[in-house]
Amino acid sequence: MNNNSTIKELLDQMGQAGARLDQMHAVEASAGNISISINWPVNLESVFPDHQERKSLPWAVPALAGRTVFVTGSGCRLRDIGKMPAVNVSAFVIDEGGRTGTWYTHPDKKYHQPTSEFNSHLAVHNDQVARRKVDFQAVVHAQPPYLVALSHHPELLNNTDYNRAIFRWEPETIVQVPQGIEVLDFMVPGSQELMENNLRGLRDHEITLWAKHGIMVRSDVSPLAAVDKVEYLETGAMYEYFNTASGGKAEGLTDEEIRRVISAFGVKTTLY
């Protein structure tokens, strides 16, 4: 996405990302949520004619003052965004100080509030803008079945073992996600504990694993680019899951083979 992207283009990207996650079985029913933050004006009232001023935000986001944040609604199905974006998504223009915003919605909206994970979305957007001054960012939360299944194995719940289990199956994985996954312990969904740990994890990584729950991924490119990274990692998790289920006899890529890929593609990583 770029500074010329229209509201239609932004919502189309959210719809494509939601559809792809649905195809991956990563957003059952109303699970999963998507947000994007932008730093350029768009015609919000052309899609969201209703607005409510001084709407309280679940987390103070002073770095987002004057910016627009699009977010999916609580209870909405991500697979429906592409066909009906106006009633499944809303937008906030953040007020000075970052504690409130003007909330733009459609009169036929399918939700009462933004997603219950809005605090984590806002915190990540605010932190990345404050640290890197990004004009665009997409944040996606989903529940990919193989990535989540592996998080139920206690011996894998650390950065080293979890990443190695996934990265040893396809050479492309280290190229596409060089920082790997930051593994978080189980925390209650929507809690401040989860929000704070997720925020920390996404400072040095593009994706965090919420053990026994799901993942969150950020992208400076587009919502669909964020989902692409999930797809690479979910494929690696699928290979690991099937190998474990069949007795764990497959070797996978050795560390030396992965290092050869790193060298050939000039990958900057600390994983190997």
Share of the chain above pLDDT 90, in %: 97
Distance CA 147, CA 56 (A): 34
Residue 151 confidence (pLDDT): 97
Residue 129 confidence (pLDDT): 98
| Chain mean pLDDT for the chain | 96
What residues does 104 pair with on adjacent strands?
51, 91
**pLDDT tens digits along 127-171:** 999 999 999 999 999 999 999 999 999 999 999 999 999 999 999
Burial of 178 (0-12, 13-18, 19+ CB in 10 A): middle
Looking at the chain, how many residues does it have? 272
Residues contacting residue 153 through CB under 8 Å, at least 6 positions apart:
none
Indicate the pTM of the whole model. Answer: 0.95
**pLDDT tens digits along 221-257:** 999 999 999 999 999 999 999 999 999 899 999 999 9
Distance CA 121, CA 123 (A): 6
CA–centroid distance for 147 within its chain: 14
Confidence of residue 4 (pLDDT cuts 50, 70, 90): confident
What residues does 94 pair with on adjacent strands?
101
**DSSP 8-class letter at 248:** S
C-beta of residue 79 within 8 angstroms of C-beta of residue 19: yes
Question: Would strands 207-210 and 100-105 be described as parallel, antiparallel, or unpaired?
Answer: unpaired
